[in-house]
Chains A and B, each alone.
Chain A
């Protein structure tokens, strides 16, 4: 072997010099940054979408006018144009909805055998698949997320949740061995604006499968797919009052939480609102699951598959414009590979396409609302002021609508506000670390504990780490992967209770021996 090595290294050294000369001459003929091939616009068609000008509340199996008589406008955040008028529900509407849900529970749904409930839920799932394109387009129009994501992730996953929990409906006795699961009654559900249809599915599917009836309040800025879901549920022949959807603002949500007629509250949203709910239901028999904020540690070890890890970082923070409670927003890179990872990450960020969410090639769409845009911009200012090094690729942003370039902050530390606080945008704070112990300590050094990610080729390191990270979900060598069979939820100020999987049934039943 040694001889062979000796024999070749000499001529090769010579050769490689020759090659260098030759190729560098060629290199000058090939300018590397001209954009001579660009993707032509590939907008998804809106032709097959039917939207009404005005949407009412869905209560007791009927679309009814709001008590206030008032409607507000919902917009497309990518253009600012008004899409539809939405009923502004209030306390009285909530009361009607809860009453309708109670009636449906007492008279029909609560007594229906599981296999009969399953038929309705399977039907919802199938119809959602049939109408998937329409749902995807509306989700993108109303929320600003790229059509690629709503088409490939949000809508199929929402349908899968209904399929999955439909399967449990007649098997609950097996889900809870030696215990008799009993439905709770009426569930109040409040969902966020980042995954409007998917969150509705996460909440509705297990509630219906376990025999509860529901009053659902969508986020004020993204009510359209929930209202299309109301139409779908209506078309599916789900008995009246089983699902009620009341649109409106914060006060409507508060009335739902405080309504004495509900047995359970399920909330996904911000930590301050989660704290409010906790206080509001204290001393009542209401059960609750809260899925709140996060600031996930995304950890890259030096033995990681670096190219794939870079892809994971991109999916972790730029998926859905970073409007993801489990986004990998705190990046920890082992110091000996930090330079390499950051160089590759910057290169990859240059290829991200920011723009019209309806274009099939868009990677990063519109920021959901003006309020959120302002919040992100404020945090970017804070980051700069804190002295972190900002990096944004050069990319043109549309003139109208709310858009934000993918953003890195380098050389940050645990003391930076951009590291400590949830930004909920495409902004990644990057830190380096030296040892396993150090990164575990820092990863856990945050009031949140929703999710984390780890990249290493070493299986034992993954298991060592996952047992020590205080996070509800830990992804290994991937990020932002969701499946109906997998439980999701947080530790600490990220909330409690699990959604998805067998665990997702518990919050909707009381167990009797």
Chain B
């Protein structure tokens, strides 16, 4: 194994069975009544509403931006999502249509989703997103370099992108579905955090498995250890595969019991998801009206 970057701590090994058992225990929590409603609204407010398709157009992004601001106008007291997540060439459109709604624009960058390009192009990609007004940049790490043991390369790249981000907050996507072990997930988390990540994020959504609770737990523990050591908070974004309100609540339980309430807002926690919002709205609608209604009442932008 090649050496670790100088400020990356050696973490304890991870026992996968133990992690899965801990997750199973989170999932036995029964979230009812007011805590459920509060959790659902919190989750809605943490969503990065995402469209990352080759066929994205101005029209599509515009529609998504409207949806972000008007999730379900027929329901009472529904929060907005946290951000819209698009490719860099759609940042301008998103920015324009979100106006002063307070909803952030996040842009993927660095040859998303594979990350297979050179440093210069990745920096240009980042710069383009930032210049067009992205509030947040979601970069991918070089998984190939990581799996070769070239940890300093991964570290340097993140640090360079962080610098190019300027004031934009940097989310570092580990693409955990390609890292194969939880020990790798932990090491990649530690490298990303040490190199300047504001957020660490599980997945691009283009690789299966995307976000899972065991992977997210390991990343939350990396954040916790970093906080205990330095007092610095890092954000977390599980992305992909979180499609129901029930799963979102399970993630919130895990967040609550691992990092605590300080992280339970969209400054420190996000869900990268496209279909989650409607399922949450369905649950909120059920609470408010007493009955489930057809999904046709919810917009599919």
Contact = CB atoms under 8 A, between A and B. Distances in A.
A510 interface: no
B22 interface: yes
A20 interface: yes
B29 A39 contact: yes
Contact of A8 (B2, B156, B265): B156
Given A4-B156, A41-B32, A24 B231 contact: yes
Contacts of A307: 12, 14, 18-19, 221
B291 interface: no
B32 A152 contact: no
B34 interface: yes
Contact of A351 (B2, B15, B195, B257): B257
B6 A15 contact: no
A465 B136 CA distance: 51
B155 A8 contact: yes
Interface string B145-184: 0000000110110011011000000000000000000000
A12 B3 contact: no
A311 B31 CA distance: 22
Given A4-B152, A308-B14, A308-B22, A32 B232 contact: no
B159 A37 contact: no
B152 A37 contact: no
B228 A361 contact: no
Nearest to B14: A305
Nearest to A303: B13
B15 A308 contact: yes
Given A12-B159, A23-B233, A36 B12 contact: no
B1 interface: no
B18 A477 contact: yes
Contacts of A5: 3, 5-6, 152
A69 B2 CA distance: 79
A20 B257 contact: no
Interface residues of B, number: 55
A148 B261 contact: no
A315 to B, nearest CB: 8
Contacts of B21: 311, 478
A378 interface: no
B225 to A, nearest CB: 9
B39 interface: yes
B76 interface: no
B75 interface: no
A467 interface: no
A360 interface: yes
B260 A33 contact: yes
A39 B31 contact: yes
Contacts of B100: none
Most buried by A among B160, B221, B260: B260
Contact of A40 (B36, B163, B232, B263): B36
A435 interface: no
B42 interface: yes
Contacts of A42: 30-32
A8 B7 CA distance: 11
A66 B2 CA distance: 76
A26 B230 contact: no
A312 B42 contact: no
Interface in B228-262: 228, 230-233, 252, 256-257, 260-262
B267 interface: yes
Contacts of A23: 232-233
A304 B13 CA distance: 7
Contact of A360 (B12, B28, B156, B196): B28
Nearest to A458: B13
Given A35-B261, A148-B28, A305 B18 contact: yes
A37 B32 CA distance: 12
A48 interface: no
A1 B231 contact: no
B3 A1 contact: yes
23 contacts: A5-B152, A8-B5, A8-B152, A9-B5, A11-B159, A12-B155, A12-B159, A12-B195, A12-B196, A16-B196, A24-B232, A30-B233, A33-B260, A36-B261, A36-B264, A39-B35, A303-B13, A304-B12, A305-B15, A306-B12, A308-B22, A311-B22, A360-B29
> What 5 A-B pairs are tightest by C-beta distance, nearest first?
A308-B18, A42-B30, A305-B15, A32-B262, A306-B12
Interface of A: 1, 4-5, 7-9, 11-12, 15-16, 19-20, 23-24, 26-27, 30-42, 148, 152, 303-309, 311-312, 343, 351, 360-361, 457, 477-478
Given A15-B162, A16-B194, 12 more contacts: A1-B2, A1-B152, A9-B6, A32-B262, A37-B38, A39-B31, A40-B31, A308-B17, A308-B22, A311-B22, A312-B18, A477-B17
